[in-house]
Structure 1
Amino acid sequence: MPSETLQIPTAAGPADAFAAYPDGGERHPAVLMYPDGFGLRPVLREMAAQLAGHGYYVLVPHIFHRHGPAPVLDLPEHIGEDVRPALFARLMPMIEAHTPECVLSDAAAYLAFLTTRPEVAAGPVAVTGYCIGGLLALRTAAAHPGRVAALAAFHAPVNADGPAPFSRLTARVHLAHAEGDLTPESLADLDRTLATAGVEGTSEIYPATTHGFTMRDTAAFNAPALQRHWNNLLPLLTRTLRPT
């Protein structure tokens, strides 16, 4: 599986990123994959490579590139609850500095970059994200409705911007929530927002999960939930990026 580290031109300077794609010299639909708050690291590279194996060009940007190349923090191999608070104390200033204006500027650069890659097929793209990356994916899809055909967000604060982004979506969605992040009542409110906006797709709470359940290198990891994530993500991509 070919992979490479890239430099993406942005208004704030070059942003490093990781890309994985199938071998063979053909063009493939693109997926822009936003990492969680701990950023671009081995587990995200592994997930990108796994997704690429299904026939996609997968681009994972370093979302904190304004603070230096990845990794901006020295992370342990396993992010346990004992180290999580200290790590987030250092990450929060970077997360807060990544304003909606920065997000949209970078998103436009990432999408433009994909059009230049010889491995990427013409046509719509998908965006997916984890934790804060899911919110970035939502903002990207809302800002580029003619370009983004699919949006998948996992254990993400998708309500952070209120209902406005959903009213701009044309993408088909899968929103997966941790049991510890969203109550059934909050899910019902979100579902009403999606219905009012005419958004098609699914929104569900994954049972017995806590925030971060897809990330194999954290204490929140839940193997059945990660598989459920693939079971929902792959058909969504097939339906939107490979129409029959």
Structure 2
Amino acid sequence: MIISSQTHDITTPTGMMRTYHYSPVEGGNYPCIIFYSEIFQQTAPIARSAAILASHGFHVLVPEVFHELNPIGTVLAYDDAGKDKGNEDKWSKQLEHHDSDTQALIEFAQQLNGCNGNVGAMGVCIGGHLAYRAALNPAIKAAFCLYATDIHSDSLPAQIGNGSFERMKDIQGEIHFVWGKQDPHVPMEGRLRIYTACQRTGINFHWQEVNAQHAFMRDEGDRYDAALAISMYQQAVALFGRTLVL
């Protein structure tokens, strides 16, 4: 499908959130995917990923995940300075503020012209965590989480009792986890902790580990695995086609 893109500034309890919207040009009644970026916000690789998803018949919303902490339109570089700033933002923002962002995005999606009202979530790196976190909201029918960081450690700032790992049982939709076996950010012990919790809570989940490094989806840099990336897009489209399309 041919797609178009535009920007929206969405009001949230913690300020205005710039959000990039990709959607098919052809009229229709399409579901929506919230696509959460890495700590660097909407870089060129993230924009290309969103465009790929949209071209399969979805509205795709890419929010600036740290909108409270940066000027609108901020994109961090894939260098040490960008990584340091992104990590600083990650440890500064409360998970509750991500939750209110997600709620604002859901409400925005459900009012979009040409949207069927069904919403899913997808993300990479910290965005994988945020897609998982979004699935705590009962409106999220499915989530596709790629090498999601900081779930196993339950270490992102949150109120007592509201950590992402400890709230896993609240997930109602279907969730897919994809992990790189060579990813130092989520070692084997961490993956095992998450897998065991998935089994114990009885959530509806799919588990996949691949021979890949962290950020293997990013089509810039030495860790990119194009063959695996294509497979992941196909699996995500299949998941959302099955769970979000009426």
Measured against the shorter chain, the TM-score band is 0.7 to 0.9
Q: Give the distance between the partners of 2:98 and 2:190, measured in 1 at CA.
A: 26
Cα distance, 1:201 vs structure 2? 2.7
- In the alignment, structure 1 residue 20 sits paired with structure 2 residue 22: yes
- In the alignment, structure 1 residue 200 sits paired with structure 2 residue 204: yes
- Which structure has the highest strand share of the two? 2
Q: Give the distance between the partners of 2:152 and 2:48, measured in 1 at CA.
A: 28
The count of aligned residue pairs is 231
| Residues 90 and 200 of structure 1, relative CA distance in 2, 3 Å threshold | same
1:159 aligned residue (134, 145, 152) = 152
2:54 aligned residue (47, 52, 55) = 52
Q: Deviations over 1:184-218 (max 9, x none)?
A: 554344222112111223112111x1111111123
Q: Which runs of 5+ in 2 are unaligned?
A: 155-163
Q: Deviations over 1:102-160 (max 9, x none)?
A: 111211111111122112112x3110111001111111111x12x11101110112324
Amino acid at match of 2:148: A
- Is the partner of 2:24 in helix, strand or coil? coil
% identical equivalent positions: 24
- In the alignment, structure 1 residue 129 sits paired with structure 2 residue 123: yes
Q: Which runs of 5+ in 1 are unaligned?
A: none
| Residues 163 and 101 of structure 1, relative CA distance in 2, 3 Å threshold | closer
What residue in structure 2 maps to residue 33 of structure 1?
A: 35
- In the alignment, structure 1 residue 239 sits paired with structure 2 residue 242: yes
Superposition TM-score, scaled by structure 2 size: 0.87
- Is the partner of 1:121 in helix, strand or coil? strand
What residue in structure 2 maps to residue 94 of structure 1?
A: 89
Amino acid at match of 1:141: A
Contact 1:212 1:218 in 2 (8 A): no
Contact 2:40 2:75 in 1 (8 A): no
Contact 1:20 1:49 in 2 (8 A): yes
What residue in structure 1 maps to residue 112 of structure 2?
A: 117
Amino acid at match of 1:29: P
Q: Give the distance between the partners of 2:51 and 2:75, measured in 1 at CA.
A: 22
RMSD: 1.8
- Is the partner of 2:116 in helix, strand or coil? coil
Q: Give the distance between the partners of 2:73 and 2:222, measured in 1 at CA.
A: 22
- Is the partner of 2:239 in helix, strand or coil? helix
Cα distance, 1:165 vs structure 2? 2.7
Amino acid at match of 1:70: G
